[in-house]
Structure 1
Amino acid sequence: MLDFVRPDGSVFLSVERDRERQWVYARWQGLQTLETVQQGGLAYVQMLHDEPCPRLLNDHTDLIGSFSEANEWIAQEWTPQILGAGLRYFAQVLSPGIFAQVSLADLHQRIGDQFELRLFPDVETASEWLLSTPLAVPPTAQPAGV
């Protein structure tokens, strides 16, 4: 697991690759800024470049406040990069806070048609949906001499 910390030492994001379920799990915590969203988002991109994975479980349960200032960057910069790295299924667990929900509604309008993005009230239902999504099928080996 990777923990990303603010200058005060508090964790703003924990990211873990779950190889058994074949997804990346990201848990955002507290207030977010453009800088924290960029740092965390680019970490996802690097993880998928290093080891492709079509699924992301993005958990905002512990996120506080708005992150709208980052939505333009997410739409214009992060989304093309993460698609290029192989992301296809995006399960988003909603924050209980209204400001984060408004930020996410705006983001969903911007990027919702780029990949399969679904919104969920909790990690359990988000996990169930992700597990129901197909994985990329590896190319079939060609017999020798063909």
Structure 2
Amino acid sequence: MEVDAEINAVRFRWTGQPTGEEFRYGANQLLEFVRSRAVAGLLVDARNVTAHQRSSIEWLVREWMPEVAAAGVEYVAVVHEDDLIARTEMEALNERFRQAETAPLFFPTDAPADAREWIAERDRSTTSLYHIGQYLSSLQLFSFS
């Protein structure tokens, strides 16, 4: 995990195929890292993940993504393998995020450069109320608590 300050995003790469438990653990570690940084974007490289368990996807959509959104993440790009299974899975996940009440914008792609550019475009064109609030709060003029 690292912060890409140029695009105001955290970059995360799965290095292998996680079990359901490993997936939740890794995703929760990523969530804690995101919470400790004030970033609007998340770029996940999932090219080493061949498939997700249905229960992991349900957990991701219902529990994890709302937490990511609450942490201030506004957009997520996921780089997947260039194959039919990965594309189909990411398209289904994208549809689930669109239907969710609380979820960042989602962009699945098989091209790392496209993912980074998509996040950079969002960062350039979106002024985040979350980040404005954090800045104003840091001035100690008032508190959000």
TM range (shorter): 0.7 to 0.9
Q: Distance in 2 between matches of 1:40 and 1:100?
A: 19
Matches within 5 A, 1:102-117: 102-113=88-99, 114-117=103-106
Bigger shift: residues 38-47 or 113-122: 113-122
Aligned twin of 2:73 = 87
Residues 65/48 of structure 1: CA separation in 2 closer, same or farther (3 Å cut): closer
- Which structure: greater helix fraction? 2
Higher relative contact order (CA 8 A, sep 6+): 2
Name the amino acid aligned to 2:20: L
Name the amino acid aligned to 1:46: E
* 1:138 aligns with one of 132, 135, 138: 132
1:52 and 2:38 are equivalent in the alignment: yes
CA RMSD of aligned residues (A): 2.4
Shift in Å, 1:117? 1.0
Taking structure 2 as the reference length, the TM-score comes to 0.75
Shift in Å, 1:70? 0.6
Percent identity at matched positions? 22
How many equivalent pairs are there? 129
Shift in Å, 1:44? 2.1
- Which structure: greater strand fraction? 1
1:64 and 2:64 are equivalent in the alignment: no
Max radius of gyration: which structure? 1
Q: Distance in 2 between matches of 1:67 and 1:135?
A: 35
Question: Runs of 5+ in structure 1 lacking a partner?
Answer: 1-14
Name the amino acid aligned to 2:110: P
